[in-house]
Structure 1
Protein backbone atom coordinates (compact mmCIF):
# COMPACT_ATOMS: atom_id res chain seq x y z
CA UNK A 1 0.00 0.00 0.00
CA UNK A 2 2.78 2.44 0.93
CA UNK A 3 4.73 1.57 -2.21
CA UNK A 4 1.72 2.19 -4.45
CA UNK A 5 0.14 5.26 -2.80
CA UNK A 6 2.65 6.42 -0.20
CA UNK A 7 4.56 8.94 -2.26
CA UNK A 8 1.48 11.10 -2.65
CA UNK A 9 -0.87 10.51 0.26
CA UNK A 10 -0.11 11.37 3.88
CA UNK A 11 -3.21 9.50 4.99
CA UNK A 12 -1.71 6.17 3.88
CA UNK A 13 1.31 6.65 6.13
CA UNK A 14 -0.82 7.85 9.04
CA UNK A 15 -3.18 4.89 8.71
CA UNK A 16 -0.20 2.52 8.69
CA UNK A 17 1.30 4.29 11.72
CA UNK A 18 -2.05 4.05 13.52
CA UNK A 19 -2.24 0.33 12.72
CA UNK A 20 1.23 -0.18 14.20
CA UNK A 21 0.29 1.78 17.34
CA UNK A 22 -2.80 -0.40 17.73
CA UNK A 23 -0.54 -3.45 17.54
CA UNK A 24 1.77 -1.91 20.17
CA UNK A 25 4.64 -1.67 17.66
CA UNK A 26 5.89 1.75 18.73
CA UNK A 27 9.33 1.35 17.17
CA UNK A 28 7.73 0.30 13.90
CA UNK A 29 5.54 3.40 13.86
CA UNK A 30 8.62 5.59 14.46
CA UNK A 31 10.35 3.91 11.52
CA UNK A 32 7.26 4.47 9.38
CA UNK A 33 7.37 8.20 10.16
CA UNK A 34 11.04 8.31 9.14
CA UNK A 35 10.27 6.43 5.93
CA UNK A 36 7.30 8.70 5.20
CA UNK A 37 9.52 11.77 5.54
CA UNK A 38 11.95 10.26 3.01
CA UNK A 39 9.21 9.52 0.49
CA UNK A 40 6.77 12.43 0.85
CA UNK A 41 7.42 15.80 -0.72
CA UNK A 42 8.92 18.50 1.52
CA UNK A 43 5.67 20.46 1.67
CA UNK A 44 3.88 17.46 3.21
CA UNK A 45 6.40 16.93 6.02
CA UNK A 46 4.80 19.31 8.52
CA UNK A 47 1.38 17.75 8.07
CA UNK A 48 2.76 14.20 8.38
CA UNK A 49 4.70 14.98 11.56
CA UNK A 50 1.65 16.77 13.03
CA UNK A 51 -0.56 13.74 12.42
CA UNK A 52 2.02 11.35 13.87
CA UNK A 53 2.37 13.62 16.92
CA UNK A 54 -1.39 13.44 17.38
CA UNK A 55 -1.18 9.65 17.09
CA UNK A 56 1.48 9.64 19.81
CA UNK A 57 -0.83 11.58 22.12
CA UNK A 58 -3.85 9.38 21.44
CA UNK A 59 -2.24 5.92 21.19
CA UNK A 60 1.40 6.20 22.17
CA UNK A 61 3.63 8.18 24.47
CA UNK A 62 2.65 11.78 25.29
CA UNK A 63 6.30 12.71 25.75
CA UNK A 64 7.15 11.54 22.23
CA UNK A 65 4.19 13.54 20.91
CA UNK A 66 5.50 16.61 22.73
CA UNK A 67 8.92 16.10 21.16
CA UNK A 68 7.40 15.97 17.69
CA UNK A 69 5.29 19.09 18.31
CA UNK A 70 8.23 21.00 19.80
CA UNK A 71 10.31 20.13 16.76
CA UNK A 72 7.56 21.39 14.48
CA UNK A 73 7.18 24.62 16.44
CA UNK A 74 10.91 25.27 16.27
CA UNK A 75 10.88 24.68 12.50
CA UNK A 76 7.71 26.64 11.66
CA UNK A 77 6.86 28.85 14.66
CA UNK A 78 4.52 31.08 12.65
CA UNK A 79 2.06 28.26 11.97
CA UNK A 80 -0.62 29.18 14.48
CA UNK A 81 -2.67 26.10 13.59
CA UNK A 82 0.12 23.90 14.98
CA UNK A 83 0.05 25.78 18.28
CA UNK A 84 -3.69 25.27 18.45
CA UNK A 85 -3.48 21.52 17.76
CA UNK A 86 -0.67 21.11 20.32
CA UNK A 87 -2.71 22.93 22.98
CA UNK A 88 -5.74 20.77 22.18
CA UNK A 89 -3.66 17.61 22.61
CA UNK A 90 -2.39 18.74 26.02
CA UNK A 91 -5.93 19.61 27.10
CA UNK A 92 -7.20 16.18 25.98
CA UNK A 93 -4.34 14.54 27.86
CA UNK A 94 -5.43 16.39 31.02
CA UNK A 95 -2.11 18.21 31.38
CA UNK A 96 -3.35 21.50 32.83
CA UNK A 97 0.07 22.90 33.66
CA UNK A 98 1.52 22.07 30.24
CA UNK A 99 -1.52 23.53 28.46
CA UNK A 100 -1.20 26.75 30.47
CA UNK A 101 2.51 26.96 29.62
CA UNK A 102 1.65 26.61 25.93
CA UNK A 103 -0.96 29.36 26.19
CA UNK A 104 1.67 31.57 27.84
CA UNK A 105 4.15 30.84 25.05
CA UNK A 106 1.72 31.43 22.20
CA UNK A 107 0.50 34.79 23.44
CA UNK A 108 4.06 36.10 23.60
CA UNK A 109 4.37 35.49 19.85
CA UNK A 110 3.56 38.12 17.27
CA UNK A 111 -0.15 37.52 16.67
CA UNK A 112 -2.84 39.36 14.78
CA UNK A 113 -5.69 40.82 16.85
CA UNK A 114 -7.97 38.04 15.67
CA UNK A 115 -5.47 35.31 16.65
CA UNK A 116 -4.82 36.89 20.06
CA UNK A 117 -8.55 37.15 20.72
CA UNK A 118 -8.97 33.50 19.74
CA UNK A 119 -6.23 32.24 22.07
CA UNK A 120 -7.26 34.41 25.02
CA UNK A 121 -10.88 33.29 24.55
CA UNK A 122 -9.87 29.65 24.34
CA UNK A 123 -7.65 29.97 27.41
CA UNK A 124 -10.37 31.70 29.41
CA UNK A 125 -12.95 29.09 28.41
CA UNK A 126 -10.52 26.34 29.45
CA UNK A 127 -9.93 27.88 32.88
CA UNK A 128 -13.66 28.49 33.42
CA UNK A 129 -14.43 24.90 32.42
CA UNK A 130 -11.95 23.75 35.07
CA UNK A 131 -13.62 26.13 37.55
CA UNK A 132 -10.33 27.80 38.38
CA UNK A 133 -11.35 31.38 39.25
CA UNK A 134 -7.82 32.49 40.11
CA UNK A 135 -6.48 31.31 36.76
CA UNK A 136 -9.46 32.84 34.91
CA UNK A 137 -8.74 36.20 36.56
CA UNK A 138 -5.08 35.83 35.56
CA UNK A 139 -6.10 35.23 31.92
CA UNK A 140 -8.36 38.29 31.98
CA UNK A 141 -5.51 40.39 33.39
CA UNK A 142 -3.13 39.07 30.71
CA UNK A 143 -5.67 39.88 27.99
CA UNK A 144 -6.12 43.41 29.33
CA UNK A 145 -2.35 43.86 29.50
CA UNK A 146 -2.01 42.59 25.92
CA UNK A 147 -4.73 44.98 24.69
CA UNK A 148 -3.08 47.88 26.53
CA UNK A 149 0.31 47.10 25.00
CA UNK A 150 -1.30 46.87 21.57
CA UNK A 151 -2.98 50.26 22.04
CA UNK A 152 0.34 51.85 23.06
CA UNK A 153 2.04 50.59 19.92
CA UNK A 154 -0.63 52.15 17.71
Structure 2
Protein backbone atom coordinates (compact mmCIF):
# COMPACT_ATOMS: atom_id res chain seq x y z
CA UNK A 1 0.00 0.00 0.00
CA UNK A 2 2.81 2.37 0.92
CA UNK A 3 4.54 1.65 -2.39
CA UNK A 4 1.31 2.34 -4.27
CA UNK A 5 0.87 5.69 -2.49
CA UNK A 6 4.45 6.62 -3.29
CA UNK A 7 3.92 5.86 -7.00
CA UNK A 8 0.72 7.90 -7.01
CA UNK A 9 2.57 10.78 -5.36
CA UNK A 10 5.34 10.60 -7.97
CA UNK A 11 2.73 10.57 -10.73
CA UNK A 12 1.00 13.63 -9.26
CA UNK A 13 4.33 15.45 -9.03
CA UNK A 14 5.09 14.67 -12.66
CA UNK A 15 1.66 15.89 -13.75
CA UNK A 16 2.05 19.08 -11.72
CA UNK A 17 5.50 19.63 -13.20
CA UNK A 18 4.09 19.34 -16.69
CA UNK A 19 1.40 21.86 -15.88
CA UNK A 20 3.86 24.27 -14.26
CA UNK A 21 4.61 27.03 -16.81
CA UNK A 22 7.85 27.86 -15.01
CA UNK A 23 9.16 24.31 -15.31
CA UNK A 24 11.64 23.86 -18.14
CA UNK A 25 11.40 20.38 -19.71
CA UNK A 26 14.49 18.26 -19.27
CA UNK A 27 13.90 15.51 -21.83
CA UNK A 28 12.73 15.28 -25.42
CA UNK A 29 9.62 13.44 -24.20
CA UNK A 30 8.72 16.33 -21.90
CA UNK A 31 9.22 18.78 -24.74
CA UNK A 32 7.02 16.68 -27.00
CA UNK A 33 4.23 16.82 -24.45
CA UNK A 34 4.71 20.55 -24.13
CA UNK A 35 4.55 21.28 -27.87
CA UNK A 36 1.49 19.07 -28.04
CA UNK A 37 -0.23 21.20 -25.40
CA UNK A 38 1.04 24.52 -26.86
CA UNK A 39 1.49 23.87 -30.59
CA UNK A 40 1.54 27.55 -31.58
CA UNK A 41 3.92 28.78 -28.89
CA UNK A 42 7.19 29.90 -30.45
CA UNK A 43 8.65 30.14 -26.94
CA UNK A 44 8.20 26.39 -26.40
CA UNK A 45 9.49 25.44 -29.85
CA UNK A 46 12.56 27.66 -29.49
CA UNK A 47 13.29 26.15 -26.07
CA UNK A 48 13.03 22.74 -27.71
CA UNK A 49 15.53 23.84 -30.36
CA UNK A 50 17.87 25.10 -27.63
CA UNK A 51 17.58 21.74 -25.86
CA UNK A 52 19.12 19.98 -28.86
CA UNK A 53 21.65 22.74 -29.50
CA UNK A 54 22.97 22.32 -25.96
CA UNK A 55 23.65 18.69 -26.85
CA UNK A 56 25.23 19.86 -30.15
CA UNK A 57 22.56 18.01 -32.12
CA UNK A 58 22.32 20.75 -34.71
CA UNK A 59 20.30 18.83 -37.29
CA UNK A 60 17.77 17.84 -34.64
CA UNK A 61 17.37 21.51 -33.74
CA UNK A 62 16.82 22.31 -37.42
CA UNK A 63 14.17 19.59 -37.61
CA UNK A 64 12.38 21.06 -34.60
CA UNK A 65 12.38 24.50 -36.25
CA UNK A 66 10.94 23.02 -39.44
CA UNK A 67 8.28 21.17 -37.46
CA UNK A 68 7.42 24.36 -35.60
CA UNK A 69 6.93 26.29 -38.82
CA UNK A 70 4.62 23.58 -40.16
CA UNK A 71 2.71 23.24 -36.89
CA UNK A 72 2.17 26.83 -35.75
CA UNK A 73 -1.15 28.19 -36.98
CA UNK A 74 -0.92 30.42 -40.05
CA UNK A 75 -2.84 33.04 -38.07
CA UNK A 76 0.02 33.30 -35.56
CA UNK A 77 2.31 35.35 -37.78
CA UNK A 78 4.47 36.69 -34.94
CA UNK A 79 4.98 33.21 -33.51
CA UNK A 80 6.15 31.94 -36.89
CA UNK A 81 8.34 35.00 -37.29
CA UNK A 82 10.00 34.29 -33.93
CA UNK A 83 10.88 30.77 -35.05
CA UNK A 84 12.32 32.07 -38.32
CA UNK A 85 14.52 34.46 -36.34
CA UNK A 86 15.65 31.57 -34.12
CA UNK A 87 16.42 29.59 -37.28
CA UNK A 88 18.54 32.47 -38.60
CA UNK A 89 20.44 32.62 -35.33
CA UNK A 90 21.00 28.88 -35.47
CA UNK A 91 22.50 29.06 -38.95
CA UNK A 92 24.60 32.05 -38.02
CA UNK A 93 26.10 30.19 -35.06
CA UNK A 94 26.29 26.63 -36.36
CA UNK A 95 25.83 26.75 -40.11
CA UNK A 96 27.62 28.36 -43.02
CA UNK A 97 27.11 31.70 -44.72
CA UNK A 98 25.39 29.79 -47.53
CA UNK A 99 22.98 28.01 -45.18
CA UNK A 100 22.27 31.28 -43.37
CA UNK A 101 21.44 33.11 -46.59
CA UNK A 102 19.36 30.19 -47.84
CA UNK A 103 17.20 30.27 -44.70
CA UNK A 104 17.04 34.06 -44.92
CA UNK A 105 15.75 33.94 -48.50
CA UNK A 106 13.04 31.46 -47.50
CA UNK A 107 12.11 33.59 -44.50
CA UNK A 108 11.76 36.72 -46.65
CA UNK A 109 9.31 34.96 -48.96
CA UNK A 110 7.06 33.93 -46.08
CA UNK A 111 7.34 36.95 -43.77
CA UNK A 112 7.55 40.72 -43.85
CA UNK A 113 10.70 41.12 -45.93
CA UNK A 114 11.84 44.37 -44.32
CA UNK A 115 11.42 43.01 -40.79
CA UNK A 116 13.41 39.93 -41.72
CA UNK A 117 16.15 42.04 -43.30
CA UNK A 118 16.39 44.05 -40.08
CA UNK A 119 16.72 40.83 -38.08
CA UNK A 120 19.61 39.63 -40.23
CA UNK A 121 21.16 43.07 -39.96
CA UNK A 122 21.05 42.74 -36.17
CA UNK A 123 22.78 39.37 -36.41
CA UNK A 124 25.55 40.85 -38.55
CA UNK A 125 25.93 43.86 -36.25
CA UNK A 126 26.20 41.67 -33.16
CA UNK A 127 28.71 39.48 -34.99
CA UNK A 128 31.06 42.45 -35.14
CA UNK A 129 32.21 41.98 -38.74
CA UNK A 130 32.10 45.59 -39.95
CA UNK A 131 32.77 44.64 -43.58
CA UNK A 132 29.89 42.16 -43.77
CA UNK A 133 27.58 44.61 -42.00
CA UNK A 134 28.59 47.46 -44.31
CA UNK A 135 27.90 45.32 -47.35
CA UNK A 136 24.49 44.34 -46.04
CA UNK A 137 23.66 47.98 -45.31
CA UNK A 138 24.31 48.75 -48.97
CA UNK A 139 21.82 46.05 -49.91
CA UNK A 140 19.30 47.42 -47.43
CA UNK A 141 19.52 51.02 -48.60
CA UNK A 142 19.00 49.91 -52.19
CA UNK A 143 16.08 47.65 -51.36
CA UNK A 144 14.38 49.92 -48.81
CA UNK A 145 15.54 53.27 -50.13
CA UNK A 146 12.64 55.23 -48.66
CA UNK A 147 12.86 53.72 -45.19
CA UNK A 148 13.74 56.17 -42.45
CA UNK A 149 14.49 53.28 -40.09
CA UNK A 150 17.04 51.69 -42.43
CA UNK A 151 18.92 54.93 -43.06
CA UNK A 152 18.94 55.78 -39.36
CA UNK A 153 20.43 52.38 -38.56
CA UNK A 154 23.11 52.96 -41.20
CA UNK A 155 23.93 56.41 -39.80
CA UNK A 156 24.07 54.98 -36.28
CA UNK A 157 26.38 52.21 -37.48
CA UNK A 158 28.75 54.87 -38.83
CA UNK A 159 28.62 56.86 -35.60
CA UNK A 160 29.30 53.76 -33.52
CA UNK A 161 32.28 53.05 -35.72
CA UNK A 162 33.62 56.54 -34.94
CA UNK A 163 33.06 57.77 -38.50
CA UNK A 164 31.08 61.00 -37.93
CA UNK A 165 31.86 62.46 -41.35
CA UNK A 166 30.61 59.31 -43.04
CA UNK A 167 27.50 59.41 -40.86
CA UNK A 168 26.87 63.01 -41.93
CA UNK A 169 27.22 62.06 -45.59
CA UNK A 170 24.86 59.17 -45.00
CA UNK A 171 22.30 61.56 -43.53
CA UNK A 172 22.52 63.72 -46.66
CA UNK A 173 21.99 60.66 -48.87
CA UNK A 174 19.07 59.59 -46.71
CA UNK A 175 17.37 62.97 -47.00
CA UNK A 176 17.61 62.72 -50.78
CA UNK A 177 16.08 59.25 -50.72
CA UNK A 178 13.24 59.39 -48.20
CA UNK A 179 9.96 61.31 -48.62
CA UNK A 180 10.05 64.91 -47.43
CA UNK A 181 7.42 64.22 -44.75
CA UNK A 182 9.96 61.96 -43.02
CA UNK A 183 12.79 64.50 -42.96
CA UNK A 184 12.09 65.98 -39.53
CA UNK A 185 11.73 62.51 -38.02
CA UNK A 186 15.04 61.34 -39.45
CA UNK A 187 16.98 64.48 -38.54
CA UNK A 188 15.80 64.61 -34.94
CA UNK A 189 16.49 60.89 -34.45
CA UNK A 190 19.91 61.26 -36.02
CA UNK A 191 20.58 64.28 -33.79
CA UNK A 192 19.65 62.14 -30.78
CA UNK A 193 22.24 59.57 -31.84
CA UNK A 194 24.81 62.35 -32.27
CA UNK A 195 24.28 63.40 -28.66
CA UNK A 196 24.62 59.79 -27.50
CA UNK A 197 27.40 58.49 -29.72
CA UNK A 198 29.02 61.41 -31.48
CA UNK A 199 29.13 65.11 -30.78
CA UNK A 200 26.62 67.13 -28.75
CA UNK A 201 27.63 70.15 -30.82
CA UNK A 202 26.67 68.46 -34.09
CA UNK A 203 23.49 67.17 -32.49
CA UNK A 204 22.63 70.66 -31.26
CA UNK A 205 23.10 72.15 -34.73
CA UNK A 206 20.74 69.57 -36.20
CA UNK A 207 18.11 70.07 -33.50
CA UNK A 208 18.28 73.83 -33.95
CA UNK A 209 17.38 73.33 -37.58
CA UNK A 210 14.51 71.04 -36.59
CA UNK A 211 12.86 73.41 -34.09
CA UNK A 212 13.33 76.39 -36.40
CA UNK A 213 11.68 74.56 -39.29
CA UNK A 214 8.92 73.06 -37.11
CA UNK A 215 8.42 75.57 -34.27
CA UNK A 216 4.93 74.33 -33.44
CA UNK A 217 6.20 70.83 -32.68
CA UNK A 218 6.42 71.16 -28.91
CA UNK A 219 7.42 67.50 -28.69
CA UNK A 220 10.60 68.35 -30.60
CA UNK A 221 11.41 71.24 -28.27
CA UNK A 222 10.95 68.79 -25.42
CA UNK A 223 13.30 66.25 -27.02
CA UNK A 224 15.88 69.00 -27.56
CA UNK A 225 15.65 70.07 -23.90
CA UNK A 226 16.03 66.48 -22.70
CA UNK A 227 19.07 65.94 -24.92
CA UNK A 228 20.75 69.04 -23.50
CA UNK A 229 19.98 68.00 -19.94
CA UNK A 230 21.25 64.46 -20.45
CA UNK A 231 24.50 65.84 -21.86
CA UNK A 232 24.87 68.13 -18.84
CA UNK A 233 24.03 71.42 -20.55
CA UNK A 234 21.51 72.80 -18.08
CA UNK A 235 21.80 76.43 -19.16
CA UNK A 236 21.27 75.49 -22.81
CA UNK A 237 18.14 73.54 -21.82
CA UNK A 238 16.91 76.51 -19.78
CA UNK A 239 17.37 78.87 -22.73
CA UNK A 240 15.50 76.52 -25.04
CA UNK A 241 12.50 76.51 -22.74
CA UNK A 242 12.65 80.29 -22.48
CA UNK A 243 12.51 80.47 -26.28
CA UNK A 244 9.72 77.92 -26.51
CA UNK A 245 7.35 79.75 -24.15
CA UNK A 246 7.55 82.88 -26.32
CA UNK A 247 5.92 81.00 -29.20
CA UNK A 248 2.22 81.26 -29.96
CA UNK A 249 1.02 78.40 -27.79
CA UNK A 250 -2.19 76.61 -26.98
CA UNK A 251 -3.09 76.27 -23.33
CA UNK A 252 -2.05 72.62 -23.02
CA UNK A 253 1.25 73.33 -24.80
CA UNK A 254 2.04 76.18 -22.42
CA UNK A 255 1.10 74.03 -19.44
CA UNK A 256 3.44 71.29 -20.67
CA UNK A 257 6.36 73.68 -21.16
CA UNK A 258 5.93 75.47 -17.84
CA UNK A 259 5.72 72.13 -16.08
CA UNK A 260 8.97 71.12 -17.77
CA UNK A 261 10.58 74.41 -16.73
CA UNK A 262 9.44 73.88 -13.16
CA UNK A 263 10.87 70.35 -13.08
CA UNK A 264 14.16 71.64 -14.46
CA UNK A 265 14.47 74.37 -11.82
CA UNK A 266 13.44 72.06 -8.99
CA UNK A 267 16.19 69.66 -10.03
CA UNK A 268 18.92 72.01 -11.22
CA UNK A 269 17.93 75.46 -10.00
CA UNK A 270 16.99 77.04 -6.68
CA UNK A 271 13.94 78.43 -4.88
CA UNK A 272 14.30 81.77 -6.60
CA UNK A 273 14.27 80.22 -10.07
CA UNK A 274 11.29 78.04 -9.15
CA UNK A 275 9.38 81.13 -8.01
CA UNK A 276 10.31 82.89 -11.26
CA UNK A 277 8.86 80.05 -13.35
CA UNK A 278 5.61 80.16 -11.36
CA UNK A 279 5.42 83.92 -11.86
CA UNK A 280 5.91 83.57 -15.63
CA UNK A 281 3.26 80.86 -15.78
CA UNK A 282 0.75 83.13 -14.00
CA UNK A 283 1.57 85.98 -16.35
CA UNK A 284 1.05 83.74 -19.37
CA UNK A 285 -2.35 82.62 -18.08
CA UNK A 286 -3.42 86.21 -17.38
CA UNK A 287 -2.32 87.50 -20.78
CA UNK A 288 -3.98 84.60 -22.61
CA UNK A 289 -7.23 84.52 -20.65
TM-score normalised according to structure 1 size: 0.93
Cα offsets for 1:122-153 (capped at 9, x unmatched): 110121122522211111111111111112xx
1:111 deviates by 0.8
- Cα distance, 1:6 vs. partner? 2.8
Counterpart of 1:59 in structure 2 is 197
Q: 2:239 aligns with which of 90, 101, 112?
A: 101
RMSD across aligned positions (CA): 1.1
Q: Which runs of 5+ in 1 are unaligned?
A: none
- Report the 3-state secondary structure (helix = DSSP H, G, I; strand = E; otherwise coil) of the residue aligned with 1:148: helix
What is the alpha-carbon distance in structure 2 between the residues aligned to residue 89 and residue 137 of structure 1? 25
Are 2:226 and 1:88 equivalent residues in the alignment? yes
Distance 1:131 1:107 in 2: 18
User: Which residue does the alignment assign to 2:121?
Assistant: none
User: CA–CA distance in 2 between the matches of 1:15 and 1:30?
Assistant: 13
Instruction: Please say which of residues 132-141 and 102-111 is displaced more in the overlay.
Output: 132-141
Aligned to 1:71: 209
| Distance in 1 between residues matched to 2:174 and 2:229, nearest whole Å | 28
Aligned residues: 150
Cα contact 2:234–2:268 (8 A) shared by 1? no
CA 1:131–1:104 in structure 2 vs 1: closer, same or farther (change >3 Å)?
closer
**Partner SS, residue 110 of structure 1:** coil
Q: Deviations over 1:97-124 (max 9, x none)?
A: 1011001000000111111011101110
Residues 16-35 of structure 1 deviation map (CA, whole Å, 9 limit, x = unaligned): 11111111000010001000
TM-score (norm 2): 0.50
Tell me the CA shift for residue 77 of structure 1. 1.4
CA distance, structure 2, for counterparts of residue 30 and residue 131 of structure 1: 35
